[in-house]
Chain A
Amino acid sequence: DTEVTQTPKHLVMGMTNKKSLKCEQHMGHRAMYWYKQKAKKPPELMFVYSYEKLSINESVPSRFSPECPNSSLLNLHLHALQPEDSALYLCASSQEVVGQGLTEAFFGQGTRLTVV
């Protein structure tokens, strides 16, 4: 099973709503990632979890709050978002080998988020 599953596929939320994006993998990977992708742009890294600890936070606004409940799950909690936060949010996972670089990352299909 080389699948990363993201739910929901589409989400429309108001600026005062609270919602969560979910990501799951069962490949035994110990690194999980959230990326944000705007239209016609490359993915931009938001957060990295390594062995369930937050290892990278790319200066993301606090209205985005990641959570890694266990090694298979990754959540992204959303609160008080702005219309400019509308984007495709991608989750990825990879095998974690410290100091050896990322040898392969598997991506989910993404959640298309629209903030109204």
Chain B
Amino acid sequence: AQSVTQLDSQVPVFEEAPVELRCNYSSSVSVYLFWYVQYPNQGLQLLLKYLSGSTLVKGINGFEAEFNKSQTSFHLRKPSVHISDTAEYFCAVSAPDQTGANNLFFGTGTRLTVIP
């Protein structure tokens, strides 16, 4: 079975400061990893994903994440945040489940609040 842990439920950060949102996963099989962002009353938008290859993944809006297999982590970073980055961020993992169907498993989310 797969699971995702987002260690911080809330992260406040000042505008133009760097930020890191933490994500750890557990799985007995190879997985794909994702970060999604959700603005208030909106659906989920894909920020970036790791499928294979380079462990440093660059996404939209200046975000990047690094896949670390030994630490089973996939932390999200941005060197300088903007007010518009205030949102909920979800880490997710996918792997074929026991029925062979595809599924996404989400972490509990991290609320990023950018302070002016």
Residue contact B51 to A42, C-beta cutoff 8 Å = no
Residue contact A99 to B96, C-beta cutoff 8 Å = yes
Question: In chain B between 68 and 106, which residues have their CB closer than 8 angstroms to a CB of chain A?
Answer: 90, 94-97, 99-104, 106
Q: What is the minimal beta-carbon distance from A66 to any residue of chain B, in angstroms?
A: 14
Residue contact B103 to A56, C-beta cutoff 8 Å = yes
Size of interface on B: residues with Cβ below 8 Å to A: 29
Residue contact A107 to B45, C-beta cutoff 8 Å = yes
Q: Is A74 at the interface (CB under 8 A from chain B)? A: no
Report the separation of the CA atoms of residues A56 and B94 in the bound assembly, to the nearest whole angstrom.
15
Q: Is A90 at the interface (CB under 8 A from chain B)? A: yes
Residues of B within 8 A of A48 (CB): 101-103
Question: Which one of A33, A42, A50, A98 lies within 8 Å of B109 (CB-CB)?
Answer: A42
> Quick one: given A108-B43, A109-B43, A110-B42, are A55 and B32 in contact (CB under 8 Å)?
no
Chain B interface residues (CB < 8 Å from chain A): 30-32, 34, 36, 41-46, 49, 51, 90, 94-97, 99-104, 106-109, 111
- Provide 6 A-B residue pairs closer than 8 Å at the C-beta atoms, listed in order of the A residue: A42-B90, A45-B103, A99-B96, A102-B102, A102-B104, A110-B43
